[in-house]
Amino acid sequence: MQAVLPVHVHVENEWQDEGKSDRRHTPRTRMRTCVTNKTKTKSSVTIVPKQTQKTRSRSPSPSREPWIPPPGRTTKGQRFAWQSPKSRLEINPVTEITINDDTDNEDYQESERPQRTTSASRVSAEQQEQLATEIKTYEKRIQTLIENIGMLKEKAQLKGNQSQADNLRSEIGSSLVELEQLQKQYAQRVASMQSQTTTVPSYSSNSVAPFDNVNQETTEPFSNRTNRVTRSRSSSQSPIRTKSPLNTNNNNTQQSRSWSADQKRRLTPKVSFEDTENFSRKSTTPTRGPLRLNPERERLLVALSASETDIAAIIAQLSSLKDILTKLKVDDQPVSYEIDQLYKQRNQLLNFIEQFEKSNSSLKDFLQHQYHLEAEHGHLHEEKESLLTRLHYVENENRQIRRLLLDRENDNISLNQDLDKLHSHTIGFDTIKTSLETNRAHLQRELHAKEGDINRLQCQLRMLERDLHKNRSQCENLQRSIEKKNDLRKPMFSGVNRRRVINTEKLQTQLNEKDEYIEKLEKQLIDLKSGGKVHEKLINAETEITRLQTKLEHSERLMKDYKEQLNTSTSKIERNNLTKNHLSEMELEKRRVILQKRIEELEPLPELLRQAEFKNQELQTKLIECEKRINEQTSYINELTSKHSVQYRLLDRMKEKTYSSDDDNRTLQQKIDLLERQLCASEEENTNIHRNLNIKDETVRDLQARLNSKTFELSSITKQFDNTQNDIKAKEVEIRDTFGSKERMLQQRVHDLDNQLSKLRLEFGQLKREKEELERRNTLQLSDLRDKLEQSHNTNRSMQNYVNFLKTTYSSVFNDSLNTFPSTVRLNTILDTPITFP
């Protein structure tokens, strides 16, 4: 039987989205499906899915024809495939589709009746409601189909789980087959024994042969033993075996055991499961050589001794049977009690064989289980050793990391010390910088002050120069006037004029010397402006300049006095020239005496000027030295600034290094934290592993205790398992048949549901088109009705205007209100009644 795999169907919830899109008035693309109709079409028209377009404002026109939708898609022979990451669905083309759904036909016929009766001329609200109800029914049907497909998916998943169950069942079946083979072998042996016992009353020589063979087979490893062995054991000594009702009153089983447990261990063969079938099948457990049993070894030895006693009892029983048969062979006339005794011995032997088979099977299961437990214990021991090695490796890594951390900490300490030194150096450089800046500021202030003083002196010198120019101009004018007068008075005052000329020449020379001296001072002041920036020397120069200025002012005052005196004297001379010619010589002499005295007073002035020149030269030399010193200081300041900038750069680099070292320290601290966390985690893991190992040891002990309790139940479970195995096989055959038929039915159902989905989608599309047509026609009719209503309102207004005109004409022509009243009432009633148009 080949398992038929289910079809995995996946249907997206597209119809709900289309319903939402209809409510929002945004059309969607249709799903391309492949459907073949029963009726043959002459031509197939492919439909391109509509795209979303903007709605245009269309003016209603009565001549416009209604929109007719294109026919449905009728493509034949197209194959539809859908694939997901877990499964694949393929739908091959079908010639005809027939759907026999009795439950859905009634709803479908009820939904199709209003479609046949609807016409384009009669549209009402009831038909729209019917369309809405039909759409809801279709949506419900689609939801039911989707739910059915979901159930099919779940069944397919259950099929996957069933495949796993089938694998397990196959493994269980193989193990059961092996057990059945063993049981058949034992049954064949028992049947051969029964057939041999049934041939005993014939008293033939051939009847003893099989028993002899059995005795030869069983007594080969136990040739040194006695023929009779006592069979007395308690249930506490054999925890694996179950209690069996045996007749312990036999003479063969009441004898004592003649060998000790050591002799039994020497004589009994060692058990090994390398040749068994179960051992070769279970490849998951590793083979490790000799068994390393736990404290359960004593129980195992007890079970082995019990099996040995069973074997000894069987051998004794066989030997007794052999003796009876030999007696029967020797005696020609057998006795009836001997025959009964033979039958009893045969039955006892069969019981002993059954007990031995049970004990042997339970012992095999116990030994296999113990072997697997030992293998698991060895695996756990290996895991523990690997974990211990891993712990040792982790501890070594932690030690290395701690050493690295200590080295890094030492590096950090050295870096911090270097940083402290650099901070101290930077503080010293900052103090030097601040002191230099303060000195520089102080010198700049002094320079600004000296420049202000020099500017003031320059202004004063300019004022003095102006005064000198004025005095010179005045002196020149006076000289000219004097020369003119001297020319007139040459004959009279020739000697006096010569003296005056000499005096004037001397005064001019002195004035020229003063001008030169003033120019030198100006040059010195300019030189001082450019280079003189020392406080003490400038003060000395200023004091000397002020002293010279006072002397110049004193000389200027004397010059002014001389000029005034000259002016007064000339005026007096001019006045008295005419009247006092005879007294002119006396006055001139007096004036000469006065002028000579004044000249004598002015004679020390050139010496003072020379002294001032020497002092100016000394000051110039001092200024040059000061300039040199200032240049040296400026060069030293520049060197200090360059050194300061270099130190700043070094500080910036050191700061960057400190920042990088801080970042490294942070990263190292983070790594240290991670390593500490890993250490904590590893320690926790180690503690958990120790706990788990302790728990596993406890569980192993509990399992061993449970094994002792469950071994008693194994015999009864094996019988139930044999009975249930046949039932399970029969049920499996039935289930496979039913499951295969169900799968076929489900596949047919899925195929039918797919066809129904395609039909329903087509019907849904047709209904949507008809709904759009009806809405369009409704809009057209509403526009026509609005036009007609507007026309009727216009006619009513025209009639009202005409009636009003008639009223005015009648009121103007006929002034009789009594005659006109009923006519107006009639007209008003006519106008108030609504006009109905066909």
The residue type of 326 is: T
Q: Determine the pLDDT at residue 141.
A: 66
Report which of 606, 607, 599, 499 is spatially closest to residue 559, judged by C-alpha positions.
Answer: 599
Q: Is residue 178 part of a domain?
A: no
- Residue 180's Cβ-side half-sphere holds a number of Cα atoms within 13 Å equal to 11
Q: Which residues pair with 80 in a beta bridge?
A: 91
Residues 367 and 473 in one domain: no
Q: Could you report the per-residue pLDDT of 433-485, keeping only the tens digit for each?
A: 777 778 778 777 877 887 777 777 778 777 877 777 777 777 677 777 767 76
Nearest to 97 by CA among 71, 69, 70, 74: 74
Q: Which residues pair with 91 in a beta bridge?
A: 80
Contacts with 468 (C-beta within 8 Å, 6 or more apart), sequence order: 511, 514, 515, 518, 556
Strands of 35-103 (E only): list them: 80-83, 88-91
Residue 348 lies inside a defined structural domain of this protein = yes
Same domain? For 228 and 301 the reply is yes
Q: What is the pLDDT of residue 103?
A: 41
339 and 464 part of one domain? no
Residue with tokens 């004598």: 600
**Per-residue confidence band for 579, with pLDDT thresholds at 50, 70 and 90:** low
**Same domain for 486 and 582:** yes
pLDDT band at 755 (very low <50, low <70, confident <90, very high): confident
Based on the fold, state whether residues 471 and 365 are members of the same structural domain: no
Q: What is the DSSP string of 394-409?
A: HHHHHHHHHHHHHHHH
Neighbours of 704 (CB within 10 A): 16
Predicted confidence at residue 544, as pLDDT, reads: 67
Per-position DSSP letters for 188-214, written without gaps between them = HHHHHHHHHHHTGGG--GGGGHHHHHH
Helices 584-602 and 535-579, axial angle in degrees (round to 10): 170
Answer yes or no: is pLDDT of 494 > 70.
no
pLDDT at residue 232 in the model? 35
Length of the chain equals 838
Going by their DSSP bridges, the two strands 80-83 and 88-91 should be labelled as antiparallel
According to the model, what pLDDT value does residue 372 have?
A: 84
Regarding whether 453 and 373 lie in a shared domain, the answer is no
Is the per-residue pLDDT at 63 higher than 70? no
Alpha-carbon span 410 to 389, nearest angstrom: 31
Compare 298 and 47 and report the one with higher pLDDT. Answer: 298
Give the C-alpha separation, 166 to 171, whole Å.
Answer: 9
Q: Which of 244-253, 679-688, 780-789 has the highest mean pLDDT?
A: 780-789
- 256 has a pLDDT exceeding 70: no
| CA distances for 211 relative to 187, 229, 324, 345, angstroms | 17, 19, 11, 13
Question: 164 lies in a domain?
Answer: no
Residue 83, beta-bridge partner list: 88
Whether residue 132 is predicted with pLDDT greater than 50 in this model: the reply is: yes
pLDDT tens readout for residues 781-836? 888 888 888 888 888 888 889 888 888 888 888 765 444 444 444 545 544 544 44
Any domain includes 149: no
Q: Is 578 found in the same domain as 507?
A: yes
Residue 362, amino acid = S
pLDDT, greater one: 228 or 409: 409
Residue 511 has pLDDT above 80, yes or no: no
pLDDT confidence of residue 279 = 36
Regarding whether 564 and 461 lie in a shared domain, the answer is yes
* CB 598 within 8 Å of CB 558: yes
In terms of domains, do 303 and 443 share one? no
What b/e string do you get for 316-332 counting C-beta neighbours within 10 Å, with b at 16 or more? bbbbbbbebbeebeeee
CB 684 within 8 A of CB 274: no
* The pair of three-digit structure tokens given for residue 723, joined into one six-digit string: 């009975």
53 inside domain: no
Determine contact, residues 320/345, Cβ cutoff 8 Å. Answer: yes
More confident residue, 289 or 505: 505
Residue 508 has pLDDT above 50, yes or no: yes
First to last CA, the chain: 79
Q: Which of 216-220, 485-489, 593-597, 691-695 has the lowest mean pLDDT?
A: 216-220
Cα gap 515→505, rounded to integer Å: 15
Domain end point (choices 345, 361, 384): 384
User: Rounded mean pLDDT of the chain?
Assistant: 65
Do the domain assignments include residue 104? Answer: no
The type of residue at 164 is: Q
Mean pLDDT (whole number) for 674-685: 79
pLDDT tens digits, 160-184: 555 655 665 565 556 556 656 655 6
What is the 8-class DSSP label of residue 81? E
Phi, psi of 204 (to 5 degrees): -95, 165
Burial of 67 from C-beta contacts in 10 A (0-12 / 13-18 / 19+): exposed
Q: Is the pLDDT of residue 347 over 70?
A: yes
Produce one character per residue of 679-699: b if its CB has 16 or more CB atoms within 10 Å, e if not. eeebeebeeebeeeeeeeeee
Q: Give me the pLDDT at residue 224, please.
A: 38
Q: Would you say the C-alpha torsion 815, 821, 823, 829 has a positive or negative sign?
A: positive
Judgement on whether residues 464 and 325 belong to the same structural domain of the protein: no
Q: Is the model more confident about 213 or about 406?
A: 406
261 or 194, higher pLDDT: 194
Lookup result for tokens 């002293």:
547
Q: Does 251 have pLDDT greater than 70?
A: no
pTM above 0.85, yes or no: no
Which structure tokens are listed for 403?
């050493």
Same-domain check for residues 268 and 359:
yes
Q: Look up the domain containing 210 and give its range.
A: 196-384
Specify if 365 maps to a domain: yes
Out of 352, 384, 416, pick the residue that ends a domain.
384
Indicate whether 512 and 617 sit together in one domain.
yes
Per-residue pLDDT tens over the stretch 98-109: 334 444 444 444
- Which of 384, 399, 424 delimits the end of a domain? 384
Helix or strand run (H / E) with residue 267: helix 261-267
* Residue 271 DSSP one-character state: P
In contact, 162 and 42? CB cutoff 8 Å? no
Total tally of structural domains belonging to the chain: 2
For the ranges 3-7, 372-376, 467-471, the maximum mean pLDDT occurs at 372-376
Distance CA 474, CA 469 (A): 8
At residue 491, the pLDDT reads: 55
As a whole number of angstroms, the distance between CA 511 and CA 475 comes to 11
